[in-house]
Amino acid sequence: MSLVKLAPSILSADFSQLGEQVEAALTAGAQYVHIDVMDGHFVPNITIGPLVVRSLRPLADKYGATLDVHLMIENADHYVDNFAQAGAHILTVHVEACPHLSRTVQIIREAGARPGVTLNPATPLVTLEEILPEVDLVLVMSVNPGFGGQTYLASSTNKIRRLRGMLDAIGSSADLEVDGGITAKNAAEVAAAGANVLVAGSAVFGGPRSIAENVVSLRKAIDATECI
C-alpha cells in the first residue's frame, strides 16, 4: 500500500450526489475524506457543519477511510465536541485562529479525535515549533483558504520540505498534509518534498473524466514518486 495517502476534498463535489461521489473516490483508492468547514469569518466563505460529517461516517467505516475535518473557523473550541461526536477522526485547526492553541489541541484529543494544526501560506513555520510534538497531523495550505479550484503556490514546496525536516528532527510520526491546487501534474513534486497526505478537490471531482479515473491519475503520479 502506498505510503502517501490521497484525501479528496468534498468542497469540489456535487452535493446533490455527495454520497455517491465520495464512495466513487473511496472505491478507486482514496484513503481520507477531507471536509472543509468554513464560517464566513475566518475565511470568506460558508460551507457545512457536523451533519455532513455524520452522514459520511458510515461510508468512511465501510471503506476503512479517515474523516479529515479542517476547521477554518473562529472559536473552534466551541465546536470540537460536535464534530467529534458526529464522527470526525481528525480535527485540524488554524494557528491564526486559536490564541490558546495547546489548549485547543488538548480539547480535540479529549473529545476522541486526532488533533491537527494548519497555517496559511503567509504564516511562517516558526509558529508551529512549540505545538509540533502535540499533534498527529500538520497541514500546509498551498493556497489562501476559502475557495476551491485555486492554483498551487510554488513557494509551498520549499515550505513543505522545511516542515518535513522539522518533524523528522523531533522524531514525529505526524502526517504532513498539503491542501490547495494539487493535481496530477504537481502531486509528485509535493510528495517528494515530504508530504504524505495530499488533498485534492477539483482534480478528483472536476473535469471531463470520471472520479475513478481522476483518482487513478493522481495515484499514479504519487506512486511514481515513491518508486524513485
> Is 36 annotated as catalytic?
yes
Q: How far is CA 99 from CA 7, 93, 107, 158, 176, in A?
A: 28, 11, 14, 27, 22
In degrees and rounded to multiples of 5, residue 200 shows phi and psi of -140, 130
Domains of the chain: 5-226 (3.20.20.70)
Residue 156 predicted with pLDDT over 80: yes
In degrees and rounded to multiples of 5, residue 148 shows phi and psi of -85, 170
Residue 23 predicted with pLDDT over 50: yes
Determine the 3-state secondary structure of 97 from DSSP. coil
Residue 227 predicted with pLDDT over 80: no
Where is average pLDDT lowest: 19-33, 136-150, 185-199? 136-150
pLDDT digits (tens, 9 = 90+) for 202-211: 999 999 999 9
C-alpha cell at 23: 464512495
> Is 81 annotated as catalytic?
no
Catalytic residue among 14, 36, 61, 77: 36
**pLDDT interval class at 112 (50, 70, 90):** very high
pLDDT of residue 222: 87
Q: How far is CA 226 from CA 2, 3, 5, 152, 219, in A?
A: 8, 8, 12, 21, 11
pLDDT average, residue stretch 135-149: 88
pLDDT of residue 44: 86
Residue 225 predicted with pLDDT over 80: no
What is the Cα–Cα distance from 104 to 6, expressed in whole angstroms? 26
Residue 2 predicted with pLDDT over 90: no
pLDDT digits (tens, 9 = 90+) for 25-80: 999 999 999 999 999 999 988 999 999 999 999 999 999 999 999 999 999 999 99
pLDDT of residue 1: 36
Mean pLDDT of the chain: 94
pLDDT of residue 228: 44
Please enumerate in sequence order all residues whose Cβ is within 8 A of that of 184, keeping only pairs 6 or more positions apart, or say none.
203, 217, 218, 220, 221
pTM to 2 decimal places? 0.94
Catalytic residue among 39, 136, 175, 179: 179
pLDDT of residue 100: 96
